[in-house]
A and B are shown apart, each in its own frame.
Chain A
Amino acid sequence: MIVAGIDVGAKNVHAVLIQDGVVLAKAAVVSGFDQEESAERGLQEAARVAGIDRSAIQAIAATGAGRKALAIAGQQPTEVLADGRGAAKLRPGARTVIDVGADEARAIRLSPEGKVLDFAINEKCAAGAGAFVEAMSRALDMSLGDFATSSLGSTQSIPMNAQCTVFAESEVVSLIHANTPAADIARAVHDAMASRVSAMVRRIGVDDPVVLGGGAALNVGFVKSLSEALGGVNVEVLPDAEYLGALGAALIAWESAS
């Protein structure tokens, strides 16, 4: 039996197919305006990667901001539940799960058995989400990848005064005018974002092991800053971090179908 988990995020749709409890395929497509259509494109793409027909998918669980709009989904687990389930599978024993997406960030505390004990969410302010770093790399005219790596080469820590993404953009422009090296600006941006995310994580408590998922987990500069902001704890980046929610949803679909 083949089931799908689909995570309809603000920026991307991630889909994971599971066959007999094992991951069969995964795919990501850009979220369009119509969430139903975006989800369908994600499923089609995952089916194509798996080399199966779309009609072979027997059950679908949807999570993410757009999950409620999906009539095709038999189950609609919350992002917190899906993230918790995915993290417990990818890193058994994980106690603190952090998921930083484009428009939203979450922190989840798990029991040793992988049950959700507590969580915190920021969905109100772009400064604690991936959109912040994206806007800043645009202001510096750098690709997100270059921006992330360049942060590691920084030699000095510059505090950013602005908390707001809109204001930070002007601050970055001033730093550029002051001939601040790009590496130091990138680090300042990652530090600022990490300080906001870590403040949210601290609300639920930080227990080892700490794992990180979501698109921002692919940003090495942010991961380093986050680890520092959390007082030097080891932040383990989950494999296929950006598929965390979709994987969790697929596991939930699989468990209830089998």
Chain B
Amino acid sequence: MTETQHFWRWSEKTYQAPDLDWRAASSITVGVDVGSVSSQAVILADGKLLAFNSTRTGSSSPDSALRAFRGAAEPIGLTLDDISYAVGTGYGRVNVPFADRTITEIACHARGANHMGGPSIRTILDMGGQDCKVIRIDERGKVLNFIMNDKCAAGTGRGMEVIADVLSVPIEDIGRRSFEIDEEPAAVSNVCTVFAKSEATSLLRAGWSVNKVLAAYCAAMAQRVAGLIERMQVEREFFITGGIGKNIGVTRRIERLIGVEAIKLPADSVLDPQIAGALGASLFAHSLYRKAQKEAAAAGGTAPGNGGTPGGAAEPAGEGAGVAG
């Protein structure tokens, strides 16, 4: 019997820094982003990237948070007990059992994008599994404003997964294949993912190649997202985070539509646009831990370890940007 192929299944990713000995570090801070579709954990040793993991979110948020953490930590022998401070973010952030506090994913993506793309980043497009956000930030990564669509699958990763399955194309090949066409077709007319599914099937029957249908679908998704971006107006520099950020079929078409090119990670970077939220959370965890340590030192006490009071630390940059998701 052959196993059913799940075309939507994107590869889970794990990374451990080859030359960093966490046992010598004075702090281990963790950011966990439990999204509606994927969960990530990023671990920092003294503020430097030690490890990360990206995995699919299961039916239980606490399990998904733990799975993401273990995926990053276990290969280097790190356990929950070694964590100095942890921040949970994302749609399931209140369900990260080992988090010392939670911060909205808007603030975390802002901080993560600021770290990945540099201080010149002003506009972030975060294309997640079940929502899409445009975030305006300042040079320190603080959120100034944001808008989001979380009502409709068109323009989200979940919508792309549905199309991958309908067309039997592995999701990670969609971007490349959508450019292997003779001529750019018109975007599919149906915005709704459910209707786009039937439209895609009709186009195939009408003789379109799979690649051409992919192009038409990526173009429709790009149009929709570009509409959201234009409501906010793009201020340079522009950076894309989230899983769909890795799909060039969508991102390049967005760039064409809005006339602005996104800043890309260097080719040799170990980072991944999908971990931006967890990375931001880990950076917040690091700052909060250091701040708590300084305060404790000033008060003559000891630094709080794991289990410190959530919300006990000072407000991080970007807080007050609103609760999303």
In the complex, what residues of B have CB within 8 A of residue A253's CB?
Answer: none
Closest partner residue, chain A, to B130 (CB atom): A167
In the complex, what residues of B have CB within 8 A of residue A170's CB?
Answer: 36, 130, 158
Distance, CA A117 to CA B195, complexed state (A): 29
Distance, CA A135 to CA B198, complexed state (A): 13
Does A126 sit within 8 A of B, measured CB to CB?
Answer: yes
Distance, CA A10 to CA B197, complexed state (A): 13
Closest partner residue, chain B, to A125 (CB atom): B192
Does B231 sit within 8 A of A, measured CB to CB?
Answer: no
Distance, CA A90 to CA B194, complexed state (A): 32
In the complex, what residues of A have CB within 8 A of residue B193's CB?
Answer: 126, 164-166
In the complex, what residues of A have CB within 8 A of residue B191's CB?
Answer: 124-125
**Interface pair B158/A103, CB less than 8 Å apart:** no
Closest partner residue, chain A, to B206 (CB atom): A33
Chain A positions 56-70 with a Cβ under 8 Å from a chain B Cβ: none
**Interface pair B194/A33, CB less than 8 Å apart:** no
Distance, CA A164 to CA B192, complexed state (A): 9
* CB of A36, distance to nearest CB on chain B (Å): 14
A side interface size, CB within 8 A: 18
In the complex, what residues of A have CB within 8 A of residue B130's CB?
Answer: 167, 170
B side interface size, CB within 8 A: 18
**Interface pair A166/B202, CB less than 8 Å apart:** no
**Interface pair A124/B192, CB less than 8 Å apart:** yes
**Interface pair A163/B194, CB less than 8 Å apart:** no
Instruction: Decide yes or no: A166 and B198 within 8 Å by CB, A174-B59, A177-B59 being known contacts.
Output: no
Residue A125 contacts which of B152, B162, B202 (CB distance < 8 angstroms)?
B152
Distance, CA A132 to CA B192, complexed state (A): 11
Distance, CA A133 to CA B190, complexed state (A): 19
Chain A positions 75-123 with a Cβ under 8 Å from a chain B Cβ: 103
Instruction: Decide yes or no: A164 and B151 within 8 Å by CB, A33-B205, A124-B191, A125-B192 being known contacts.
Output: yes
In the complex, what residues of B have CB within 8 A of residue A167's CB?
Answer: 130, 153, 158
Instruction: Decide yes or no: A135 and B192 within 8 Å by CB, A33-B202, A166-B159, A167-B130 being known contacts.
Output: no
**Interface pair A126/B194, CB less than 8 Å apart:** yes
Distance, CA A126 to CA B151, complexed state (A): 12
Residue A135 contacts which of B158, B194, B205 (CB distance < 8 angstroms)?
B194
Distance, CA A159 to CA B130, complexed state (A): 19
* CB of B227, distance to nearest CB on chain A (Å): 14
**Interface pair A166/B153, CB less than 8 Å apart:** yes
Q: Which of A103, A125, A126, A164 has the most CB of B within 10 A?
A: A164
The proximity string for B residues 149-186 relative to A, scoring 1 for CB distances below 8 Å and 0 otherwise, is 00111000011001000000000000000000000000
In the complex, what residues of A have CB within 8 A of residue B202's CB?
Answer: 33
In the complex, what residues of B have CB within 8 A of residue A131's CB?
Answer: 194-195
**Interface pair B158/A166, CB less than 8 Å apart:** yes
In the complex, what residues of B have CB within 8 A of residue A103's CB?
Answer: 195, 198
* CB of A176, distance to nearest CB on chain B (Å): 10
Distance, CA A177 to CA B194, complexed state (A): 24
Distance, CA A170 to CA B202, complexed state (A): 26
Chain B positions 105-131 with a Cβ under 8 Å from a chain A Cβ: 130
* CB of B198, distance to nearest CB on chain A (Å): 7
Distance, CA A164 to CA B224, complexed state (A): 15
Closest partner residue, chain A, to B201 (CB atom): A33
The proximity string for B residues 49-76 relative to A, scoring 1 for CB distances below 8 Å and 0 otherwise, is 0000000000100000000000000000
The proximity string for A residues 150-182 relative to B, scoring 1 for CB distances below 8 Å and 0 otherwise, is 000000000000011111001001100100000
Distance, CA A173 to CA B130, complexed state (A): 15
**Interface pair A163/B151, CB less than 8 Å apart:** yes
Q: Which of A33, A125, A135 has the most CB of B within 10 A?
A: A125
Seed contacts A124-B192, A125-B152, A166-B153; 16 additional CB < 8 Å A-B pairs? A33-B202, A33-B205, A103-B198, A126-B193, A126-B194, A131-B194, A135-B194, A164-B151, A164-B153, A165-B193, A165-B194, A166-B158, A166-B159, A166-B162, A174-B59, A177-B59
Residues of B within 8 A of A (CB): 36, 59, 130, 151-153, 158-159, 162, 190-195, 198, 202, 205
Residues of A within 8 A of B (CB): 10, 33, 103, 124-126, 131-132, 135, 163-167, 170, 173-174, 177
Could you pull out 9 A-B pairs where Cβ atoms are within 8 angstroms?
A103-B198, A124-B190, A131-B194, A135-B194, A163-B151, A163-B152, A164-B151, A165-B194, A174-B59
Closest 8 CB pairs of A and B: A166-B153, A126-B194, A164-B152, A33-B205, A164-B153, A165-B194, A163-B151, A166-B193
